[in-house]
Chains A and B, each alone.
Chain A
């Protein structure tokens, strides 16, 4: 179909109210609903988090119930991620904006019976924080989790049905592409991007406008735009959520980028571990083609743009831009030296622009709302917002988007709801295996590119892992090194061998065999890899080691000098001991010990033979008197 602005407007009008009310609540929304064919809308999160906790069963139950009760005026919408993954499956009912968390199949039935039919919200099923003492229901935006958030990249996530292009269009979708194609020159787009201050959200923070300008300036008959959706940082899922919740935002932005640099073909490189995101993308691309928003002569302007999906196959290094392009070319995903930069010689040797998902998610809105609007958000050098995947030892595990400059404390204590089980915050890790840890003393650091790198971490792609006092920092450094070691492509010698040697030194330390000389070697190897490796994977591989060594040196020393692990994590350094006062001599521990390391006679205090003990912890978990402790 040939898309025109008239048709686009018509689709928008047709769907506008249906979608708009999901951003409102109560009276306004009810009013809006009067014109609608639907009396109630039930939104269920269909993101990976909620799907994993059973949202599909909830949707099936809701739909079965609706069918059975013949409720033709109730709409069930499967959306993308709401953000509060720990509370999934998440269900929200409009116009009330009632936010049900951890919904079960039974709960779904009650929602239909009591809430939809009976008109009475099931308050006991709601997210507790949204229920006030006086029984009033708070809108989601008023909860601690959402209050300080600002949603730009995630604007449509949890709002629209990502498998329905018309809902995207209803919220100004593809308007930016129309604007660019019909009223802006390539240079004007670049100017806007530059003025907005948008920087790459993949981690390095390179100004997006500059990247586009370089690629535009490169001569070439064929150029490419690529999207990096190979979200490799373990514990990060921002890009996945955007693709699952708002795939058209990426397609539209890539088309804008293509127009700007003069490309007609694009590739989205997605991790194969993201089946839902891939499915939604496929549907979105097919719909965009059907609606004439991809393909030939878009909006009748003569601009052609085709988009293809390529799946990764399990290689973290393919998140590096040159490796990603090598992988799209069907080869071993090894990075290439730069220069030449991709803007000059990229995919298949042609000028190429590569941005990550979250970067693209900002583009259409910058075009529509203007560079001034965007640059008014954030800090001096870092504009806009940043999405973080908040995980680890934190109450509200989930997806958050905050303006640049928000402090770590705000994210952890307010949005994240603090550390569970009354434990103490120890450190946060940003940037995943390439980043560093931020200790408690820097918790008030505003989050922007420069501040984070100043304290030895980095913005990274948005993984934010919270650690408490039970996390051993040497062990966590070892964990990251294991990761990079396994994911090193092996092309350059400092990374191929350096990561392995670094890991071996850390293993030695956590096994209680480390020496002070090993610490020197760790420092030497770390700084060697930083300057000598071919790509960012190797250059940053030592960051988790360097930063933990910087802030938690005493923990390393405890492992090396005292042969103890303060967090009681490193098995080889643990000692299980029976407190003789508490031991009743029940012999349960001795009978359960797999290596017969516990000696003692009935009704007499038992003793653990430290040389035989393999530190499996079975005795401790079996003791009914709390007589066994580890130190």
Chain B
């Protein structure tokens, strides 16, 4: 991501206070960077430059290392997520039962690709590797709510039900 194209940071003083507390908690703990990033993402929803910089300064770790860790693990996000986070399981059990078709149907319905967020900020799509709900394969989640035994049609219906709630 180019420096110039970074989205505007809208952190609040309250969030900053929470982050400072988190940093203080993990400051002298061996290997404290990962838990700090996890909790920071919990506070802000993603890990923008400003947040990573505060973490680097607070923990006394080079920013390059913080950024390196944040971009290594797939659960850390550098961009804000949608209000509703859709996640389609692409674990093997779901895949052999057609999870790829479900993902494609949702992408088509929302007009975005996996990893992207709709322009109105309402939805973002991710894929994940096995939620462990293989008995219900194929599975997708919206905001953590599990929808099992999906078909492309039923998945799109689920999305639409969230859409109608918004209007």
Q: Do chains A and B touch in the complex (CB under 8 A)?
A: yes
Are B135 and A85 in contact, CB atoms less than 8 angstroms apart?
A: yes
A51 to B136, CA, bound (A): 11
**Which residue of the partner chain, among A51, A313, A429, contacts B74 with CB atoms under 8 Å?**
A313
Interface size class on chain A is 35 or more
Are A272 and B129 in contact, CB atoms less than 8 angstroms apart?
A: no
| Residue-wise interface mask of A (48-89) relative to B, using a CB-CB cutoff of 8 A (1 in contact, 0 not) | 110111000000000000000000000000000000111110
Chain B contacts for A232, CB-based, 8 A: 129
**Which residue of the partner chain, among A273, A429, A467, contacts B128 with CB atoms under 8 Å?**
A273
Are B34 and A311 in contact, CB atoms less than 8 angstroms apart?
A: yes
Interface residues of A in 315-351 (CB under 8 A from B): 315-316, 327-333, 348
Chain B contacts for A315, CB-based, 8 A: 72-74
**Which residue of the partner chain, among B65, B69, B129, B137, contacts A316 with CB atoms under 8 Å?**
B129
Are A85 and B34 in contact, CB atoms less than 8 angstroms apart?
A: no
Report the minimal beta-carbon distance from A101 to chain B, rounded to whole angstroms.
11
**Stretch from A388-396, A401-409, A517-525 forming part of the interface with B:** A388-396
Chain B contacts for A393, CB-based, 8 A: 96-97
**Stretch from A157-165, A235-243, A291-299, A368-376 forming part of the interface with B:** A235-243
Are B73 and A391 in contact, CB atoms less than 8 angstroms apart?
A: no
A88 to B74, CA, bound (A): 30
Interface residues of B in 63-113 (CB under 8 A from A): 65, 68-69, 72-76, 90-97
Are B75 and A272 in contact, CB atoms less than 8 angstroms apart?
A: yes
**Which residue of the partner chain, among B30, B134, B148, contacts A389 with CB atoms under 8 Å?**
B134
Least CB separation from B127: chain A residue: A486
Report the minimal beta-carbon distance from B16 to chain A, rounded to whole angstroms.
22
Interface residues of B in 98-156 (CB under 8 A from A): 128-137, 139, 146, 148
Are A471 and B96 in contact, CB atoms less than 8 angstroms apart?
A: yes
Chain A contacts for B74, CB-based, 8 A: 313-315
- Is B33 close to A, CB under 8 A? yes
Are A333 and B139 in contact, CB atoms less than 8 angstroms apart?
A: no
Interface residues of B in 14-43 (CB under 8 A from A): 30-35, 37-38
Chain B contacts for A316, CB-based, 8 A: 129
Report the minimal beta-carbon distance from B81 to chain A, rounded to whole angstroms.
14
- Is A590 close to B, CB under 8 A? no
**Which residue of the partner chain, among B32, B92, B130, B146, contacts A330 with CB atoms under 8 Å?**
B32
Are A235 and B92 in contact, CB atoms less than 8 angstroms apart?
A: yes
Are B75 and A314 in contact, CB atoms less than 8 angstroms apart?
A: yes
A49 to B144, CA, bound (A): 14
Least CB separation from B33: chain A residue: A330
Least CB separation from B134: chain A residue: A391
Are B34 and A429 in contact, CB atoms less than 8 angstroms apart?
A: no
**Which residue of the partner chain, among B32, B76, B92, contacts A479 with CB atoms under 8 Å?**
B92
A51 to B146, CA, bound (A): 9
Scoring B35, B94, B131, B134 by chain A CB atoms within 10 A of each residue's CB, the highest score goes to B134
Chain B contacts for A310, CB-based, 8 A: 31, 34-35
- Is A463 close to B, CB under 8 A? yes
Are B96 and A52 in contact, CB atoms less than 8 angstroms apart?
A: no
- Is A274 close to B, CB under 8 A? yes
Least CB separation from A432: chain B residue: B92
A231 to B90, CA, bound (A): 15
- Is A465 close to B, CB under 8 A? yes
Report the minimal beta-carbon distance from B63 to chain A, rounded to whole angstroms.
14
Chain A contacts for B34, CB-based, 8 A: 310-311, 313, 327-328, 330
Chain A contacts for B134, CB-based, 8 A: 49, 85, 235, 237, 389, 391, 397
Chain B contacts for A272, CB-based, 8 A: 38, 75
**Which residue of the partner chain, among A84, A274, A465, contacts B93 with CB atoms under 8 Å?**
A465
**Which residue of the partner chain, among A51, A312, A332, A392, contacts B92 with CB atoms under 8 Å?**
A392
A314 to B70, CA, bound (A): 11
Are A52 and B136 in contact, CB atoms less than 8 angstroms apart?
A: yes
Report the minimal beta-carbon distance from B44 to chain A, rounded to whole angstroms.
15
Known pairs A53-B148, A463-B92, A467-B96; A48 contacts B131 (CB<8 A):
yes
**Which residue of the partner chain, among B72, B93, B132, contacts A332 with CB atoms under 8 Å?**
B72
Chain A contacts for B136, CB-based, 8 A: 49, 52-53, 85-86, 88
A483 to B94, CA, bound (A): 14
Interface residues of A in 457-484 (CB under 8 A from B): 463, 465, 467, 471, 476, 479-480, 483
- Is A220 close to B, CB under 8 A? no
Known pairs A311-B34, A314-B74; A465 contacts B132 (CB<8 A):
no
| Residue-wise interface mask of A (476-509) relative to B, using a CB-CB cutoff of 8 A (1 in contact, 0 not) | 1001100100000100000000000000000000
Least CB separation from A468: chain B residue: B96
Are B146 and A52 in contact, CB atoms less than 8 angstroms apart?
A: yes
A403 to B37, CA, bound (A): 42
Chain A contacts for B92, CB-based, 8 A: 233-235, 391-392, 429, 432, 463, 465, 479-480
Are A329 and B130 in contact, CB atoms less than 8 angstroms apart?
A: no
- Is A398 close to B, CB under 8 A? yes
Are B35 and A274 in contact, CB atoms less than 8 angstroms apart?
A: no
Are B96 and A392 in contact, CB atoms less than 8 angstroms apart?
A: yes
Report the minimal beta-carbon distance from B114 to chain A, rounded to whole angstroms.
11
**Which residue of the partner chain, among B38, B72, B133, contacts A85 with CB atoms under 8 Å?**
B133
Report the minimal beta-carbon distance from A466 to chain B, rounded to whole angstroms.
8
A21 to B58, CA, bound (A): 54
A85 to B149, CA, bound (A): 12
Chain B contacts for A330, CB-based, 8 A: 30-35, 69
Scoring B75, B91, B93, B132 by chain A CB atoms within 10 A of each residue's CB, the highest score goes to B132
Chain A contacts for B69, CB-based, 8 A: 330-332
Chain B contacts for A332, CB-based, 8 A: 68-69, 72
A-B contact pairs, 5 of them (CB 8 A): A52-B148, A53-B135, A235-B93, A314-B74, A329-B30
4 pairs of A and B residues whose beta carbons are closest in the complex: A85-B135, A234-B91, A391-B93, A313-B73
List 13 extra interface pairs beyond A52-B139, A392-B93, CB under 8 A: A52-B131, A85-B133, A234-B95, A235-B130, A236-B130, A273-B131, A311-B38, A313-B34, A313-B75, A330-B69, A331-B33, A391-B134, A392-B97
